[in-house]
Structure 1
Amino acid sequence: MTDEFIEIDRGDTVWRFEREFLESNWTCLFGNGCKGILTEPAEELNQGCCSLGAHFGDGPAGQAESKEVLAYASMLTPKNFQHFDQAHEADTPGMLAIYGDDGRTHTRLVDNACIFLNRPGFAGGEGCALHIAAIEFDESPTEWKPSVCWQLPLRVDWQEVNADTETATVRRWTRADWSKHGETMAWCCTERSDGGETYAGTEQVIDSLREELTALAGAEVYVELRRRL
């Protein structure tokens, strides 16, 4: 264990968790003053980090995830999915028009934001339609949503150590993780230098993001992490 990271060795995977962030009181401000990730603050749009759509992982894992999201999207209804009609514009039977490219590597944008984002004023609820539906089905949003969406603001950096071992470093997202888009963002919710409004939650991240951390690393790792903190 180091001052910066807490390490938990699970044999094939060595988990490394950013201590300072887990002990912080960061909290998501979606729908409560989130300025978004555009070039200018845009609280009124209530887009949060959904302006770019969701990108799936690379390779077979990404393709598998895109198919899973498609399956869950097929369970959405006009009641909980504002862009239901646009999603059903596909020419291919059994397919939904939810992808932004032929390779199905990311979700489609509708009116400059993710197709799954219900806009302010929608009767079925503002925010991610997949998230809303998961709760309606009494299931975890981590099962329905693209991993990049439910993991934020957590990010996992995977690195191979040898043929049998890899490290997984769990930390907060930074501007650099948004690539070129990060250079033009007017606000980054995980950076205190951008105002620090998000670091005023009522509980520490280790508790507020318990479900996400458990989904990432498993229950045993989470219990050990909680014990060390």
Structure 2
Amino acid sequence: MTVMPEVELGFPRTYVEFANPADPTEVFRCDLTWLTSRWTCIFGAGCPGIYESSPEAGCCALGAHFADDDDAQRVGAIVDKLTPAHWERHDEGRRRGWTEKDDEGELKTRAFEGACIFHNSRGFEGGYGCALHGYALEQGLKPHTTKPDVCWQLPLRRQFRDVDRGDGTTYTETQIGEYTRAGWGPGGADLDWYCSSNTEAHVGLEPVYVTNQDELTELMGEAGYAELARYCREHEAGGTNTPHPADPHR
């Protein structure tokens, strides 16, 4: 396997903080360095997969954990609509189930033959890649409405924390940034390849905040995204003095 250049973490980043226009008790803290970068998903266009043992599966080698019951139920409603024409593992999934629990008892999509059970192989007539994603495209739906939350959010990351202003009042800080290799915890070091800070994946024609508008709007709301986009444009106009080091020189 050819080693692709992945930049080391710890480089300078620029952040912006602003109140959620729709909820003044929430403050967004957004990583402008990441959101104005040229990262793009290269699945099917050079992605070697996170594990050498499953190169065709991209980052879908282990199955996806559900965020909560609502997430699982939403995906389940889509699964009920999939036919063998959409889903290569349809018969297996119907017969033996499409979910399983991990060692900690957390519900996830089932792993089958080295990939998520919804992963269609390259030779499948219904289309290569995620059956849930393919169904969305066929039906004119947005893919983030048909897939588990973790699948459509990566490599965006949303985190929450309560912040004490120092005067006895608090607010919720919602962080929007890059889901780095380190974000996976100790297991991140075991990945054979990872895309978010890899130069091979920073080849997008447009920045992340543009290409991932639907996902960011889902995470932040329409008013929050509109404000973020304004700050991103201002950051770009200023010359992006803290560009993502995985980006090509611009």
Shorter-chain TM-score: what band?
0.7 to 0.9
Q: Which position in structure 2 is the counterpart of 1:4? A: 14
Q: Which position in structure 1 is the counterpart of 2:83? A: 77
Stretches of structure 2 that go unaligned for 5 or more consecutive residues are 1-12, 233-250
Distance in 2, matches of 1:9 and 1:101, equals 38
Instruction: Determine if contact 2:132/2:143 at 8 Å carries over to the other structure.
Output: yes
For CA contacts below 8 A with separation 6 or more, give which structure has more relative contact order.
Answer: 2
Q: Which of 19, 31, 55 is the matching residue for 2:65?
A: 55
Distance in 2, matches of 1:84 and 1:161, equals 46
Instruction: Determine if contact 1:50/1:114 at 8 Å carries over to the other structure.
Output: yes
Does residue 202 (structure 1) correspond to residue 205 (structure 2)? The answer is: yes
Q: Which position in structure 1 is the counterpart of 2:247? A: none
Count of residue correspondences: 211
Name the aligned partner's letter for residue 24 of structure 1: S
Distance in 2, matches of 1:88 and 1:104, equals 21
Q: Which of 128, 137, 140 is the matching residue for 2:139?
A: 137
- Return closer, same or farther for 1:17/1:55 CA change in 2, 3 Å cut-off: same
Q: Which position in structure 2 is the counterpart of 1:31? A: 44
Instruction: Determine if contact 1:35/1:48 at 8 Å carries over to the other structure.
Output: yes
Q: Which position in structure 1 is the counterpart of 2:237? A: none
**Over 6 Å off, 4+ runs:** none
TM-score (norm 2): 0.79
SS state at 1:26 partner: coil
Stretches of structure 1 that go unaligned for 5 or more consecutive residues are 91-96
Which structure's residues are more often strand, by fraction? 2
Distance in 2, matches of 1:200 and 1:132, equals 23
TM-score (norm 1): 0.86
Name the aligned partner's letter for residue 54 of structure 1: A
Name the aligned partner's letter for residue 130 of structure 1: L
Q: Which position in structure 2 is the counterpart of 1:94? A: none
Q: Which position in structure 2 is the counterpart of 1:112? A: 114
SS state at 1:134 partner: helix
Distance in 1, matches of 2:53 and 2:214, equals 29
Cα RMSD (Å): 1.9
Q: Which position in structure 2 is the counterpart of 1:93? A: none
Percent identity between matched residues is: 38
Q: Which of 206, 212, 217 is the matching residue for 1:214?
A: 217
1:111-154: CA deviation from partner (whole Å, max 9, x where unpaired): 01101111111100011111111121211111110010001110
1:205-229: CA deviation from partner (whole Å, max 9, x where unpaired): 1111111111111111111111122
SS state at 2:91 partner: helix
- Return closer, same or farther for 1:219/1:190 CA change in 2, 3 Å cut-off: same
Q: Which position in structure 2 is the counterpart of 1:14? A: 27
SS state at 2:200 partner: coil
Within 5 Å, which residues of 2 pair with 1:89-168? 89-90=95-96, 97-101=97-101, 105-161=107-163, 165-168=171-174
Distance in 2, matches of 1:128 and 1:165, equals 38
Instruction: Determine if contact 1:41/1:186 at 8 Å carries over to the other structure.
Output: no
